Structure 1
């Protein structure tokens, strides 16, 4: 009962807060104090003028302390020093159509976090934020076009500055000179074309900088030389063509330079670099760009122009790579043995290239994931050597046959994708050692027949997709080894006769069979649905169908003679199903009504007596003007 009482009180207070914030009165500006000692002031009564003193006119008259101030949906076109004289909070958020911040507006502002996002600030006056106590300043989603030298002077304690989503085109060279304690700077999503040399010179503690989504065409070799603690650099989505990072801080841990126009890069000697993203550029070679990157673990080079082949010495100085992505590089051939130098490589992706054959003989690396989809592979030799594989993607290739030993030693493989090939033949025993395989996709191939015993060894299989093939007959006994199968898709084949209930006898955990798009007769579908088998309903109701799955009536004379009986049986069966559903619905309605009545009775007996005290407690959270006190409007 105590828990119910607390929940009820909390619920009513949140409802009151929500209603007031959503539907503010034009006659009364309401001040609300929550349990978390946060003050929410919803200013919508009048336009605040520059002479307004927040501390004198409102906060000084409050009889309780507050920690956070949130100002929303108001109109405060100008912020000046008089408004915030000696105001002390932890966090202040103002979203009130602010346009101008006057000189030294926050000089006497004793606040650690100031958020002025989503206003219309176009210009910042000199020393607007000259308060040494501000540690976090956010000016996101405004209309700031330039940063001047003295705009942030006095912010000696600032650690995080967010300026993303503005219209900044230029930052004067010494604009950040006083931000000696800054650790994180976000200048993303602006219109910067260049960065002045020495702009970050005094930011010796800077760890993270975002410059992505600007119009940068280049970066000076020494632009970050003063940032001795820099660990994360994001310059993605710009127009940079050449990037020489040899003189960047050796502390760099992660660099994202994707989606540029890079034709030449050099990251040599960045001994602590762990993650490098160069996806979607115009690189033709990186052979001499990765010298001494022995700490590098993740390298992304997808969708460049490294093809048709890669120099065998390219990765000699990246011995600790764990992830290597070479998708979409126009590769026609690659010497897989060149990767033997990468003794820790666990993820290799070569998708969306033009590879026709691969040979994995003499490759001794602990690959866990191998992505070879969207190539032109017709032959893969010695793939069974990859006995550590857990995920293998061979989809969208030209494979025609899966041999007996293709996956011979992959005993821990859990995901195997073979869809969109030209596979006609699956040799018996090809899956014999895949006891941990959970997901097998054979869809969109040319398979005609699946022999009994083909799935021997797939004791852990949960998902099997053999849709969009040419299978005309499916022996239910093929599933005798797949006892954990949960999802089976046999749609869009040429099946006309299948006892779905017999599949259930082999697969104890079966939850769904998808079988539309075949040559079913209506009688066969009805028999399958009667068998209490979890069949997926279709969506084709404008043709002859059973539960939305299209079907046809047979044309031989004996079945034509029994057509009327089949229709009657179908009608009776559907009527019985409808009657059963109606009966269940009626019973559930009665049960729900009874539960509602019981809940009301319990509420009247136990909860309502507590609600009065709850409302009495809620009164203290509203500011009530004394009759002799002058009315205050915001």
Structure 2
């Protein structure tokens, strides 16, 4: 048989198979995600197609305005609940809906939480949940927050917090809230109050409005390991600002307004291994003359970055100090 005839026959057969298979619609085809929403609420049967053993539920980007008490009634427990990029404004509704499934990870970013005319604290309280691995409240309108649970990673970035003393624990007993990693970047913070948890090991307060670092700001944070306060308006650091920060290994002060730093600032930062002071108003000469205190750190190779006299970023290590 001619090769052209064979080839055309094969094309005809393949075309017929492909056409017939694409024309058939499986009876159990999934309904598009947007069709499970009715007037800003989830449809009653939204979870029918999800198995009872589901661990992660993603309801992001659906335009939800509210969640019901029975939203997650089908599930016993969930590992993660994602409600980001919606139009939710009530944390009390969210708390009631999710507390029965006890998720370890809760994403509430990119909503309208905290959007009130009175600018009071946002209450995120759970009767049945006392521990989270991660809660993301970034990109909301939060001015203050009261919580009654422990959380390893708490993200409050890109909100409207003017002072971190508006973040409080809401517990009837005296046990302190545990937070290990706290992100307060991209807010409006310009105050020197103590932080609400002494257990913070990693703190990001970059892109705020701090004009200095007083002795109270990081007081009590004995376990602080990493501190990022870049892109503020910091002009001074109090000599006792980092007292008892013996575990701090990384300090980033990039892009501030520092002209000098008193050497006693680093007298108890024995574990410090990285300091970034670039994009300030310091010079290499100032650093070399003023900071022999870092010679007493546990490492002889502490990376320090400043601008030299030619305005170039200059790596400098403490073993160069005589």
- TM-score tier (shorter): 0.7 to 0.9
Cα distance in 2, alignment partners of residues 324 and 432 from structure 1:
25
Query: Deviations 1:475-498 (Å, cap 9, x if unpaired)?
Result: 232212211111101122222220
**Residue 35 of structure 2 aligns with which residue?**
264
**Residue 78 of structure 2 aligns with which residue?**
321
Gaps in structure 1 of 5+ consecutive residues: 1-77, 79-99, 104-121, 127-144, 150-169, 174-193, 197-218, 224-242, 245-260, 267-281, 550-576, 578-634
Cα distance in 1, alignment partners of residues 311 and 98 from structure 2:
57
Q: Decide which of 459, 483, 488 is 2:251's aligned counterpart.
A: 488
The answer (yes or no) to whether the contact 1:286–1:314 under 8 Å persists in 2 is: no
**Residue 201 of structure 2 aligns with which residue?**
438
Q: Number of paired residues?
A: 294
**Residue 23 of structure 1 aligns with which residue?**
none
**Residue 63 of structure 2 aligns with which residue?**
305
Cα distance in 2, alignment partners of residues 342 and 548 from structure 1:
54
| TM-score normalised by structure 2 residue count | 0.76
Gaps in structure 2 of 5+ consecutive residues: 116-121, 296-301
CA RMSD of aligned residues (A): 3.7
Shift of 1:454: 3.3
The answer (yes or no) to whether the contact 1:336–1:359 under 8 Å persists in 2 is: no
Would the alpha carbon gap of residues 359 and 287 (structure 1) be closer, same or farther in structure 2, given more than 3 Å must change?
farther
Q: Decide which of 263, 271, 281 is 1:519's aligned counterpart.
A: 281
Question: Higher relative CO (CA 8 A, sep ≥ 6), structure 1 or 2?
Answer: 2
Q: Which has the larger radius of gyration?
A: 1
Cα distance in 1, alignment partners of residues 63 and 69 from structure 2:
16
**Residue 193 of structure 2 aligns with which residue?**
427
Q: Decide which of 218, 221, 245 is 2:27's aligned counterpart.
A: 221
Q: Decide which of 124, 129, 144 is 1:379's aligned counterpart.
A: 144
Pairs within 5 Å for 1:106-255: 146=14, 170=18, 172-173=20-21, 194=22, 196=24, 219-222=25-28, 243-244=30-31
**Residue 289 of structure 1 aligns with which residue?**
46
Cα distance in 1, alignment partners of residues 110 and 166 from structure 2:
27
Q: Secondary structure at the match of 1:524?
A: helix
The answer (yes or no) to whether the contact 1:312–1:338 under 8 Å persists in 2 is: yes
Shift of 1:372: 0.3
Would the alpha carbon gap of residues 320 and 293 (structure 1) be closer, same or farther in structure 2, given more than 3 Å must change?
farther
Query: Deviations 1:409-445 (Å, cap 9, x if unpaired)?
Result: 56542211000001122423x24531xx321001111
Query: Deviations 1:536-570 (Å, cap 9, x if unpaired)?
Result: 335x67x7337549xxxxxxxxxxxxxxxxxxxxx
Cα distance in 2, alignment partners of residues 472 and 368 from structure 1:
36
**Residue 459 of structure 1 aligns with which residue?**
222
Q: Decide which of 93, 97, 111 is 1:353's aligned counterpart.
A: 111
Shift of 1:290: 1.7
Cα distance in 1, alignment partners of residues 159 and 167 from structure 2:
19
Q: Secondary structure at the match of 2:304?
A: coil
Q: Decide which of 296, 304, 307 is 1:536's aligned counterpart.
A: 304
